[in-house]
Amino acid sequence: MRQLFTALPRIAALFAGMLAASAVHAQTAATNDIVKRGEYLARAGDCIACHTAPEGRTFAGARAMPTPFGTLYSSNITPDPETGIGKWSADDFYRTMHSGRFPDGGLIYPAMPFASYTKVTRADSDAIFAYLKSIPPVRQKNREHDLRFPYNNRQLILGWRTLYFSEGEFKNDPAKSAEWNRGAYLVEGLGHCGMCHSPINALGGTSQSDAFKGGLIPMQNWYAPSLTSNREAGLGNWSIKDITDLLQTGVSARGVVYGPMAEVVHNSLQYLSDEDARAMAVYLKGIAEGSASSAPVSTLPNTESSLLISLGKTVYDKNCASCHGAQGEGKPPHWPPLANNQSIEMQSAVNPIRMVLNGGYPPGTKGNPRPYGMPPFAGVLSDNEVAAVVSYIRTAWGNRGTPVSARDANELRSAPLD
Amino acid sequence: MSVRLTYACLISAVALPTFAVSSQTLTQPPDTMAARVEACTPCHGNKGEGTSDVYFPRLAGKPSGYLYNQLLAFRSGRRKYPPMNYLLEFLPDPYLKDMADYFASQHPPLPTPAASDASADVLKRGAALVTHGDGAAQIPACASCHGPALLGMEPGIPGLLGLRPNYVSAQLGGWRYGTRTAKAPDCMQQVAAKLTEADVTAVAAYLATRPAPANAAPLPKGSYVLPFACGSEPE
Taking only the tens place, the pLDDT of each residue in A156-166 is: 888 888 888 99
- Determine the pLDDT at residue A21: 64
Residue A160, SS3 per DSSP: helix
Q: Is residue A281 part of a domain?
A: yes
CB contact under 8 A, B43 and A376: yes
Residues of B in contact with A374 (CB under 8 A): 39
Task: Give the residue on A whose Cα is nearest the Cα of B53.
Answer: A379
- Mean pLDDT, range A360-380, rounded to an integer: 97
Whether A236 shows a pLDDT value over 80: the answer reads yes
CB contact under 8 A, A360 and B35: no
| pLDDT digits 0-9 by tens, A175-200 | 999 999 999 999 999 999 988 888 76
- Number of Cα atoms under 13 Å in the Cβ half of residue A154: 13
Task: Give the residue on B whose Cα is nearest the Cα of A53.
Answer: B76
Indicate whether A102 and A182 sit together in one domain.
Answer: no
CB contact under 8 A, A418 and B36: no
Task: Give the residue on B whose Cα is nearest the Cα of A381.
Answer: B42
CB contact under 8 A, B42 and A372: no
Distance CA A313, CA A403 (A): 13
State which of A164, A197, A227 marks the end of a domain: A164
When pLDDT is cut at 50, 70 and 90, the band that residue A19 belongs to is low
Facing residue for B83 by CB, picked from A369, A370, A376: A376
- Number of Cα atoms under 13 Å in the Cβ half of residue A241: 2
Task: Give the residue on B whose Cα is nearest the Cα of A324.
Answer: B29
Residue closest to A247 by CA, chosen among A286, A289, A218, A285: A285
Task: Give the residue on B whose Cα is nearest the Cα of A330.
Answer: B27
Q: How many residues are listed for chain B in this entry?
A: 235
Indicate whether A229 and A152 sit together in one domain.
Answer: no
When pLDDT is cut at 50, 70 and 90, the band that residue A217 belongs to is confident
Whether B136 shows a pLDDT value over 50: the answer reads yes
Among B90, B91, B95, B101, the strongest candidate for a mutation testing the A interface, having the largest count of A CBs within 10 A, is B90
State which of A242, A262, A287 marks the end of a domain: A287
- Determine the pLDDT at residue A156: 86
Whether A211 shows a pLDDT value over 70: the answer reads yes
Whether B13 shows a pLDDT value over 80: the answer reads no
Residue closest to A253 by CA, chosen among A342, A339, A332: A332
- Number of Cα atoms under 13 Å in the Cβ half of residue B214: 0
Residue closest to A189 by CA, chosen among A44, A34, A39: A44
Indicate whether A76 and A114 sit together in one domain.
Answer: yes
Expressed as residue numbers, the domain containing A215 is 178-287
Indicate whether A274 and A307 sit together in one domain.
Answer: no
Residue B25, SS3 per DSSP: helix
CA-based end-to-end distance of chain A = 82
Residues of A in contact with B37 (CB under 8 A): 373
CA distance B34 to chain A (A): 10
- Mean pLDDT, range B115-138, rounded to an integer: 95
State which of A130, A164, A198 marks the end of a domain: A164
When pLDDT is cut at 50, 70 and 90, the band that residue A218 belongs to is confident
User: How many CB atoms sit inside 10 A of residue A373's CB?
Assistant: 21
| pLDDT digits 0-9 by tens, A80-97 | 999 999 999 999 999 999
Facing residue for A334 by CB, picked from B29, B76, B92: B29
Indicate whether A248 and A311 sit together in one domain.
Answer: no
Q: Is residue A253 part of a domain?
A: yes
Task: Give the residue on A whose Cα is nearest the Cα of B28.
Answer: A331
Indicate whether A154 and A70 sit together in one domain.
Answer: yes
Cα distances (Å, whole numbers) of residue A29 to A22, A25, A32, A33: 10, 6, 5, 6
**Residue B157 φ/ψ, nearest 5 degrees:** -100, 115
CATH assignment at residue A409? 1.10.760.10
Distance CA A227, CA A343 (A): 11
Facing residue for A372 by CB, picked from B29, B43, B89: B29
Contact B164, B54 (CB under 8 A): yes
- Mean pLDDT, range B114-127, rounded to an integer: 93
Among A63, A241, A418, the strongest candidate for a mutation testing the B interface, having the largest count of B CBs within 10 A, is A418
Task: Give the residue on B whose Cα is nearest the Cα of A268.
Answer: B90
Mean pLDDT taken over chain B: 87
Whether B204 shows a pLDDT value over 70: the answer reads yes
Q: Is residue A62 part of a domain?
A: yes
Residues of A in contact with B87 (CB under 8 A): 359-361, 373, 376
- Determine the pLDDT at residue B6: 40
CB contact under 8 A, B86 and A417: yes
- Determine the pLDDT at residue A224: 86
Distance CA A53, CA A129 (A): 20
CB contact under 8 A, B87 and A360: yes
Distance CA B76, CA A39 (A): 23
CA distance B208 to chain A (A): 24
When pLDDT is cut at 50, 70 and 90, the band that residue A20 belongs to is low
- Determine the pLDDT at residue A7: 55
CA distance B153 to chain A (A): 28
Indicate whether A159 and A215 sit together in one domain.
Answer: no
CB contact under 8 A, B90 and A361: yes
CA distance A90 to chain B (A): 33
- Determine the pLDDT at residue A125: 98
Complex ipTM:
0.86
Q: Answer with the residue of higher pLDDT: A21 or A103.
A: A103
Q: Is residue A80 part of a domain?
A: yes
Inter-chain Cβ pairs, chain A and chain B, closer than 8 A: 86
CB contact under 8 A, B86 and A370: no
Indicate whether A134 and A186 sit together in one domain.
Answer: no
User: What are A's interface residues with B at a Cβ cutoff of 8 A?
Assistant: 54-55, 262-263, 265-266, 323, 329, 331-332, 334-335, 358-364, 369-380, 416-418
Q: Do β-strands A70-73 and A146-147 pair in parallel, antiparallel, or remain unpaired?
A: antiparallel
Whether B9 shows a pLDDT value over 60: the answer reads no
Task: Give the residue on B whose Cα is nearest the Cα of A363.
Answer: B90
| pLDDT digits 0-9 by tens, A23-63 | 677 778 888 999 999 999 999 999 999 999 988 999 999 99
Sheet holding A70-73, edge to edge: A64-67, A70-73, A146-147
| pLDDT digits 0-9 by tens, A270-306 | 999 999 999 999 999 999 876 555 566 677 778 888 8
Indicate whether A146 and A197 sit together in one domain.
Answer: no
H helix count then E strand count, chain B? 11, 0
Q: Do β-strands A146-147 and A215-216 pair in parallel, antiparallel, or remain unpaired?
A: unpaired
- Mean pLDDT, range A90-107, rounded to an integer: 95
Query: Exposed/middle/buried for A123, CB within 10 Å: 0-12, 13-18, 19+?
Result: exposed
Indicate whether A127 and A206 sit together in one domain.
Answer: no
CB contact under 8 A, B91 and A364: yes
CATH assignment at residue A243? 1.10.760
Distance CA A352, CA A361 (A): 14
When pLDDT is cut at 50, 70 and 90, the band that residue B25 belongs to is very low
Indicate whether A99 and A202 sit together in one domain.
Answer: no
| pLDDT digits 0-9 by tens, A280-290 | 999 999 998 76
Residue closest to B91 by CA, chosen among B105, B106, B71, B77: B71
DSSP state of A386: H
- Determine the pLDDT at residue A10: 60
DSSP state of B107: -
Among A331, A354, A368, A386, the strongest candidate for a mutation testing the B interface, having the largest count of B CBs within 10 A, is A331
When mean pLDDT is compared across A70-79, A177-186, A341-350, B19-28, the lowest value belongs to B19-28
Whether B57 shows a pLDDT value over 50: the answer reads yes
**Residue A82 φ/ψ, nearest 5 degrees:** -85, -45
Residue closest to A418 by CA, chosen among A12, A54, A69: A54
Q: Is residue A70 part of a domain?
A: yes
Distance CA B145, CA B133 (A): 11
Distance CA A321, CA A386 (A): 15
Q: Is residue A81 part of a domain?
A: yes
Distance CA B132, CA B142 (A): 8
Indicate whether A158 and A56 sit together in one domain.
Answer: yes
Number of domains in chain A: 3
Domains and CATH numbers, chain B: 32-108 (1.10.760.10), 112-235 (1.10.760.10)
Residues of B in contact with A380 (CB under 8 A): 42
- Determine the pLDDT at residue B19: 40
Residue closest to A60 by CA, chosen among A159, A132, A168, A12: A132
Q: Is residue A408 part of a domain?
A: yes
Facing residue for B82 by CB, picked from A362, A369, A418: A418
Task: Give the residue on A whose Cα is nearest the Cα of B41.
Answer: A375
Whether A255 shows a pLDDT value over 60: the answer reads yes
Q: Is residue A8 part of a domain?
A: no
